[in-house]
Structure 1
Amino acid sequence: MLTEATVRSAKPAPKAYKRFDEKGMFLFVTPTGSRLWRLKYRIHGKEKLLALGSYPEVSLKRAREKRDDARSLIADGIDPAAKKRAEREATADTLAVIADEYIELRREHMSARTLSKARWILDDWLLKYLGSRPIATIKAADILSVCRRLESRGKLETAHRTRALAGRVLRYAVATGRLERDPTADLRGALAPVTVRHHSAITDPQQIGELLRAIDEYQGQPATAAALRLAPLVFVRPGELRAAEWSEFDLDKAEWRIPGARMKMGEPHIVPLSTQAVEVLRKLQAITGDGKFLFPSLRSAARCISDNTINAALRRLGYSKEQMVGHGFRSMASTCLNEQGWHPDLIELQLAHAERNKVRAAYNRAERLAERRKMMQGWSDYLEGLKASGQVVDINTGKRCA
């Protein structure tokens, strides 16, 4: 049997050697001076070796305790080495590890805003409560518990987003062979429904004309004024507008190409520019064209204007958040274009909404740019008519309606 003294005095030799204790345990001394505890055992007719740690981190007393624990497992027909390996693999496949893998895989296909939201949901909610859990142990009730915390704070939409993101991560685990099935499928109907809130928007032609005239009289910062004038002409999402970069524009071709990294759906988007939009942009180019952003922040040209700049400008013009918001220019265009008889597919394509039918989406992107150019010019002419006289103009013919 070994003693602390004999273990402590074990010195390296030119060749590795063993110092035996009892019940199959021995100290393995390497030429580099490492002193490693090992247990030799037999199970299911095979001889195996189990690592018990190294000295002095694991003392002789502790090594014997680990040996006895292993022998108890062997007596029950459990291979301690296989059990240790399974536990190590389970620890490696935690929700946090797999979630990080999933985010890295999707990073190039997410806009910065979408990525930020996903990380917030993961870090502040899912991983905060479940991150250290092995993926195979996570049940539907665990995800529901996190969502209930959000519901209790009135964050119903975030609760649904959390369930959806958890599902995507867990399905990735299924696809990579680390989980049998996605348990979030069992949560359908378990969360409180979200009341759909539409963005406030002005859609009445006479009121649109009044809004456009008010925008023309805006007395704030020139870049903000340009953003207000451009917003109804291009009707992109507010985040896509405020972070627009001059490198994305070809004014000679009257075209704005937004890279997929900045789009909600992760796909590049083309915005045909009307003559009115190009005019706004050429005037703005003389002011901010030397920088990166069309609409730089007043505090630093290295950043664009904030999320709230357009909404704050609308408030200065006297429009409350119940009347009009920056996102409302999209609803305005969608409503009016549909009422004017433009094909719904054309409108949805220009709004950059997701097309569920991939074949149809490919056709739309490839074949309908010319039609969209015509629609965008007609839309700007329509707005110009409303602004000029308050009269409604037929968007297809350009003639004033009686």
Structure 2
Amino acid sequence: AIALQADTYERTFETVAREWIVSNAHWSEYYTNQVTSYLEKDVFPRIGKLPISSIRAPHLRPIIKDVAARGAKTVAILIRQWCGQIFSYAAAQGLCEFDPAALLKGLVKRPQVRHNPPLTWAEIPDFLNRVDNEGGYQTTVLALKLMALTYVRTVELRKASWEEFDLDNAMWSIPSERMKMRRPHLVPLSRQAVAALRELHALTGGGKVLFPSYRKPGQVMSATTLNQALKRMGYGGRFSSHGFRSTATTILGLLGYPEKRVDLQLAHSKKSKDSSRAPYDHTKFVESRKVIMQDWADILDSLQAGKPVEGVTKAFGPMSKRRTALLRVIERE
């Protein structure tokens, strides 16, 4: 019992917190760095050296309140949640008996999240034309086009390497360690996406990554580059690079495309009933997803060319020849 007390006393909050971070090996590198950075900045300097068993709610309250006071309410809420998970991890090892962070739930009210809305039908033609004319460096223009054509997450495109692409077979294979849900993801490439990638390859194909940083050799394009380009184009505050995903979801939904296939292509996190199938979900319905991705690229071309909504609906809607072709592929899957 004395040995256990000594071990418990020596295990500081910071020591246990770092063990907890290591234990979450399924996290993405980005998320791991985010958690570590905030704990190192806001939590460890205040309570890191205290034995974890000695920490109470009054220790945590000022930390959370101070973070919220600087305008980072979402971060304050995350810190409370992370601390709660750290105490749960410690309790499972017999290092503490309760979670003081649980007493502070609701201390900071969650701010209303203002998601940048998707582009509307009417906004897409002007947007695509402005990308061509006002997008900046050609690599930035091509990045924005590829975001629109593939509707992947921004970080998935920014950090992409050429070895992930098979342009001859029009397929992009994103490894699990680069995905938010830590599962590999397949992105069928439309003819337009392949053309953009071949153009990009002539510019950056001599290196490892698609979008190297011009200012920092050895690094990739920064997270702000695309949003800064959108801001210059006049879309600051009302559309972000992440908005391509909601734009595709909205328009494909309005045209009646199968939600399950679109969700798979978005790589949304939906719990699989059969967990043994989860690692292979990225291969499901690939043939029909190829058709949808080509349809999506052709829809964007049609809108950019000025085709009215009625014409696009007729060409790609539920009663179109394109939809009949898609349904035939789905029947075979």
Q: How would you bin the TM-score normalised by the shorter chain?
A: 0.7 to 0.9
- Once residues 358 and 188 of structure 1 are traced to their aligned partners in structure 2, the CA distance between those partners, rounded to angstroms, is 31
In structure 1, the residue matched to 2:14 is 96
Give the 3-state SS of the residue equivalent to 1:271 in structure 2: strand
Name stretches of at least 5 consecutive residues in structure 1 with no aligned partner. 1-81
* Higher strand proportion: 1
SS in 1 for 2:186: strand
Q: Would you say 1:373 and 2:326 are equivalent positions? A: no
CA distance in 1, matches of 2:259, 2:60: 38
1:219 Cα offset (Å): 6.1
Corresponding letter in the other structure for 2:219 = R
Tell me by how many angstroms 1:327 deviates: 1.3
Change (3 A) 1:323 1:196: closer
The within-5 A match list for 1:278-297 is 278-297=194-213
Q: Does 1:139 align with 2:56?
A: yes
Question: In proportion to residue count, which structure has more helix?
Answer: 2
Which aligned segments of 4 or more residues in structure 1 are displaced greater than 4 angstroms? Answer: none
Amino acid corresponding to residue 335 of structure 1 in structure 2: T
Query: Of the two, which has the highest radius of gyration?
Result: 1
Question: What's the counterpart of residue 351 of structure 1?
Answer: 266
* CA spacing shift, 1:284–1:130, aligned 2, 3 Å: same
> Is 1:124 the counterpart of 2:46 in the alignment?
no
For 1:97-140, what per-residue CA distance to the aligned partner results, in whole angstroms no more than 9, with x for missing partners? Answer: 11111222224x22232122111121012222121122222234
Contact 1:256 1:273 (8 Å CA) reproduced: yes
| Deviation (angstroms), 1:296 | 1.1
Corresponding position of 1:195: 112
The aligned runs of 1:310-349 (5 Å cut-off) are 310-317=226-233, 319-349=234-264
Distance 1:270 1:328, change over 3 A: same
Structure 1: distance between partners of 2:179 and 2:83: 22
Shift, 1:366, TM fit: 4.7
Deviations 1:318-340 (A, max 9, x none): x2313321111112112112222
Quick check: 231-240 or 187-196, which moved more?
187-196
Deviation sequence 1:310-367 (CA, Å, 0-9, x none): 11222332x2313321111112112112222223333332222221345387385453
Q: Match of 1:63?
A: none
Q: Read off the aligned partner of 2:80 and give its amino acid letter.
A: R
Structure 1 contact 206–390 (Cα < 8 Å) conserved = no
**Structure 1 residue 141: Cα displacement:** 4.1
Gaps of 5+ in 2: 323-333
Report the counterpart of residue 388 of structure 1 in structure 2: 305
Q: How far, CA to CA, are the matches of 2:72 and 2:34 in structure 1?
A: 14
The change in CA–CA distance for 1:186 and 1:342 in structure 2 (over 3 A counts) is farther
The farther-off stretch of 118-127 and 367-376 is 367-376
What is the TM-score with the length of structure 2 in the denominator?
Answer: 0.86
- Asked if the contact 1:201–1:324 (Cα under 8 Å) also holds between the matched residues in 2, the reply is yes
Which amino acid in the other structure matches residue 372 of structure 1? R
Report the secondary structure of 1:270's partner residue: strand
Aligned length: 314
Question: What one-letter code is carried by the residue in structure 2 that aligns with 1:92?
Answer: E
What does 1:59-138 align with in structure 2 at a 5 Å threshold?
Answer: 85-86=3-4, 88-107=6-25, 109-138=26-55
Distance of 2:167 and 2:217 partners within structure 1: 22
Measure how far apart 1:171 and its partner are: 2.1
- CA deviations 1:59-109 (Å, max 9, x no partner) are xxxxxxxxxxxxxxxxxxxxxxx65x45531233211111111222224x2
Per the alignment, residue 144 of structure 2 pairs with: 228
Which residue does 1:275 correspond to in 2? Answer: 191
Decide whether the 8 Å contact of 2:162 with 2:209 is kept in 1.
yes
Deviations 1:184-242 (A, max 9, x none): 3333333212211202432x112111111111224622211110111101111112111
Give the % identical residues: 37
Alignment correspondent of 2:75: 158
Q: Which residue of 1 aligns with 2:326?
A: none
